[in-house]
Structure 1
Amino acid sequence: MPPAATNFRRPESVLVVVHTAHRVLLLRRADAAGFWQSVTGSLEWNEDNPRQAAVRELREETGLAVLPEALTDLALTQRYTIMPQWRARYAPGVTENTEYGFAVAVDSEIPVVLSPEHAEFAWFEFPRAAATVYSWSNRAAIEAIARNLG
């Protein structure tokens, strides 16, 4: 763990797409109108791997508790520039984040318990979900799942 780990976020994160056979769960951020996304979050400094962080973030943001093996590794590791309004959360000079993509399939459009980070949730058909999410990396993950489902 870096010495300043408690002061700054780790520039590695997870993206977890929750989906049924036909729809995707999206969460609308409370601090940014119109900013829809899948479950996301930074790895904590004490976490050994992205899968561990994905299980934690899924529980924190939706109340869904899953075993690590329930997550599908999408084999999507994407690097992107951290948005300027969120750079202060990271150590000085850190401008990029590495994101690891996962998915979890559920049988039905289950209700979720939102964290204060999000204001609402909704289930969208795959094409609409891909068109609605704010980030290109989230869009790429949704589109990859849709291709795999056929």
Structure 2
Amino acid sequence: MKRANKRPESVLVVVYTAAGEILMLRRTHPRDFWQSVTGSLEWGESSVQAARRELYEETGIQAGVALLDLACNESFPILPAWRSRYGPSVHANREHWFSVMLPFRRQPRLHHGEHAEYRWVPYTQALQLATSWTNRKAIRYIFS
């Protein structure tokens, strides 16, 4: 059963290699928005299920046992431009963090309606590229 309002919970999946390169994706809209894998939880879906689904939908990567639940989350305000997608009293989103370490770079299969470009970059460049403060905080958490 599909619900009219979007669930105010999402996942953030930081994908990186054993050499420390981080996969960053550039959104199609807004054009200069760089991020790790992200996506909303569907109604009835766990955060782990959403992380696996979003990772595969956005990159074609199947995480298997490499998906690590970081047991961290952040809440952030939903911007007014997007608030109509949620219930009338919803003003914040809860983001659950995950990571996937790959032995080496893979060429992701991008979901072209969502992402236009990808880059494997070192830590400092990932922090510079990441548009979202929660994305930067998650990267720092993983590499601290």
TM-score, normalising length: structure 1: 0.89
Q: Quick check: 1:141 aligned with 2:138?
A: yes
Shift of 1:117: 0.7
Secondary structure (helix, strand or coil) at the match of 1:53 reads: helix
Q: Quick check: 1:39 aligned with 2:37?
A: yes
Q: Quick check: 1:95 aligned with 2:95?
A: no
Deviation sequence 1:25-71 (CA, Å, 0-9, x none): 01111011210000001100021x2111100000111111122x321
Alignment of 1:62-141 (within 5 A): 62-67=59-64, 69-115=65-111, 116-141=113-138
Are the aligned partners of 1:10 and 1:43 in contact in 2 as well (CA < 8 Å)? yes
Are the aligned partners of 1:74 and 1:141 in contact in 2 as well (CA < 8 Å)? no
CA distance in 2, matches of 1:123, 1:86: 29
Q: Quick check: 1:11 aligned with 2:8?
A: yes
Are the aligned partners of 1:18 and 1:105 in contact in 2 as well (CA < 8 Å)? yes
Structure 1 segments unaligned to the other structure (5+ residues): none
CA distance in 1, matches of 2:71, 2:137: 12
Q: Superposition RMSD on alpha carbons, in Å?
A: 1.3
Structure 2 segments unaligned to the other structure (5+ residues): none
Percentage of identical aligned residues: 49
Deviation sequence 1:74-118 (CA, Å, 0-9, x none): 222100001222212111121100000000001112101111111
CA distance in 2, matches of 1:36, 1:87: 21
Partner of 2:55: 58
Are the aligned partners of 2:28 and 2:114 in contact in 1 as well (CA < 8 Å)? yes
In the TM superposition, structure 1's runs of 4+ consecutive aligned residues that sit over 3 Å from their partners are none
Letter in 2 for 1:42: S
Secondary structure (helix, strand or coil) at the match of 2:81 reads: helix
